[in-house]
Structure 1
Amino acid sequence: MPTFNNSYSRMVAWLKVILPLVALGLLSTMFLISKSIDPTKSLTYAQVDLDAVMREQKISGPSFSSVTKDGAAITFSAESARPEEGKNRYSANGMVARIETPDGAVVDINAQDAMIDGSASQIDLTGGVTLVTSTKYTIHTPGLTTSMDATNIASYGPVTARGPLGEISAGQARISQQSGNSGTYLLVFKGGVKLVYDPPAEGEN
């Protein structure tokens, strides 16, 4: 075995032995760590992400139309909708509706939010609702309920309206078919009705 005359040569000789052993130890540690990873944990996280996606599923731009049992044509559309818990229930944003009755009247409805209950054939509109009728009434209310199979619209909050007679405030407004007179529809204000009469100027219709 060769001999070394100085400490530098001895250090180099030792490093030639120690460094490969250190490298081998590091490689062994890396392999041991990689084997300790539980692949089922990755699958668990992936499942959680999938569940979140399923909960956030949306229908973009849904719309539908039908004819009610009293003969009115009704159409609904929304910016987006998503299924809710329960059978045939959906929440929607940016709801727009139009109801055209057999006597020629038209009601356009805009609402921020809606809950559509297909089983009950009912839509609850909330978040601020505006109705514009062909009889020149513009009505504002916090929310209302409308049927999908009959012409029956009722606010469940106070309303303010502007129409041919002037400014109207009331506890509720309802649009429905007149009882015993098929084909005739009425807009009724009730519950503390207040009218500020503003007659049209001469020459206005």
Structure 2
Amino acid sequence: MAAATNFHSQLVGWLKILLPLAALMLLSTLFLFARNTGTSSEIPFAEIDAAAAEQRIAAPRFSGLTNAGDILSISAEAARPDTSGGTDITIDMPRLSLDATDGTTLRITAGTGQVDTSANTAHLGGLARLETSSGYVMETAGLQADLTTGTVTSDGALEIQAPFGQLNAGQVTFEAGNDGAGQQMNFTKGVKLVYTPATAAPKDE
């Protein structure tokens, strides 16, 4: 519960900064238009939209602990609040890191992302790439991360380069270890394996 409160408080803090900034910029833009002495009576909606789109924080980063004590952090190139007044935050080029208590790590990079501050979840979209400290490299179209439990689930099928060969699966789920079991990686929904045996070292003559 403390981990969930930590994430939620950090994200709410972002919104407290971003939303007033967006309102101030829009108000300033309207004042500039009101003082315009030009003869045109048309309202430049495209310029207003462009100004609103620039309300963002560059290089945001926040982190916390999952229920299992793993360190989870998310960073991005930029973050923008929900323009409709919701609690979602859109992040560009997100990076998620999960450092488990057993020493294993998970690194994820993606093209787009969105953090739901009310549900304490993050969705990483575009082409998402996962790398684990145990030697697995995967690519998939999207991932859902629970920031409280540290569970990460792929939206659909993915290709996996494993230390022992090539894997294809309909879905993968990473779960934080319980009772000292360590992080678990579960492949489901049609798993295919192409095993590649390690090349034997040449014997000395």
TM-score, L = length of structure 1: 0.72
What is the alpha-carbon distance in structure 1 between the residues aligned to residue 157 and residue 44 of structure 2? 48
| Cα distance, 1:200 vs structure 2 | 1.7
Amino acid of the structure 2 residue aligned with 1:174: T
Whether contact under 8 Å (1:70, 1:183) holds in the other structure is no
| Cα distance, 1:46 vs structure 2 | 7.5
**1:128 match:** 127
What is the alpha-carbon distance in structure 2 between the residues aligned to residue 48 and residue 190 of structure 1? 47
| Cα distance, 1:165 vs structure 2 | 1.9
Residue 169 of structure 1 pairs with residue 168 of structure 2: yes
| Cα distance, 1:52 vs structure 2 | 4.2
Over the aligned positions, Cα root-mean-square deviation in angstroms equals: 2.4
* 1:66-77 superposed matches below 5 A: 66-77=64-75
Amino acid of the structure 1 residue aligned with 2:56: K
Residue 200 of structure 1 pairs with residue 198 of structure 2: yes
Amino acid of the structure 2 residue aligned with 1:62: P
Amino acid of the structure 1 residue aligned with 2:144: T
**1:139 match:** 138
* 1:89-108 superposed matches below 5 A: 89-108=88-107
What is the alpha-carbon distance in structure 2 between the residues aligned to residue 47 and residue 161 of structure 1? 46
What is the alpha-carbon distance in structure 2 between the residues aligned to residue 87 and residue 171 of structure 1? 32
Structure 2 CA distance for partners of 1:201 and 1:146, relative to 1, 3 Å = same
What is the alpha-carbon distance in structure 1 between the residues aligned to residue 57 and residue 38 of structure 2? 33
Offset from partner CA, 1:115-149 (integer Å, 9 cap, x none): 11111111111101000001100011110101111
What is the alpha-carbon distance in structure 1 between the residues aligned to residue 116 and residue 137 of structure 2? 26
Amino acid of the structure 2 residue aligned with 1:102: T
What is the alpha-carbon distance in structure 1 between the residues aligned to residue 168 and residue 44 of structure 2? 54
| Cα distance, 1:181 vs structure 2 | 3.3
**1:4 match:** none
What is the alpha-carbon distance in structure 1 between the residues aligned to residue 37 and residue 130 of structure 2? 57
* 1:23-172 superposed matches below 5 A: 45=43, 49-50=47-48, 52-84=50-82, 85-172=84-171
Amino acid of the structure 2 residue aligned with 1:105: T
> The residue matched to 1:64 in structure 2 has which SS?
strand
Structure 2 CA distance for partners of 1:48 and 1:41, relative to 1, 3 Å = farther
Whether contact under 8 Å (2:70, 2:176) holds in the other structure is no
Q: Percent sequence identity over matched residues?
A: 30
TM-score, L = length of structure 2: 0.72
Which one has a larger percent strand, Structure 1 or Structure 2?
1
Whether contact under 8 Å (1:174, 1:188) holds in the other structure is yes
Whether contact under 8 Å (2:100, 2:176) holds in the other structure is no
**1:189 match:** 187
Structure 2 CA distance for partners of 1:41 and 1:55, relative to 1, 3 Å = farther
Whether contact under 8 Å (1:94, 1:112) holds in the other structure is yes
Structure 2 CA distance for partners of 1:52 and 1:102, relative to 1, 3 Å = same
Mind listing any 5+ residue stretches in structure 2 that lack a counterpart? 1-35
Offset from partner CA, 1:58-80 (integer Å, 9 cap, x none): 21111111111110101111011
Mind listing any 5+ residue stretches in structure 1 that lack a counterpart? 1-37
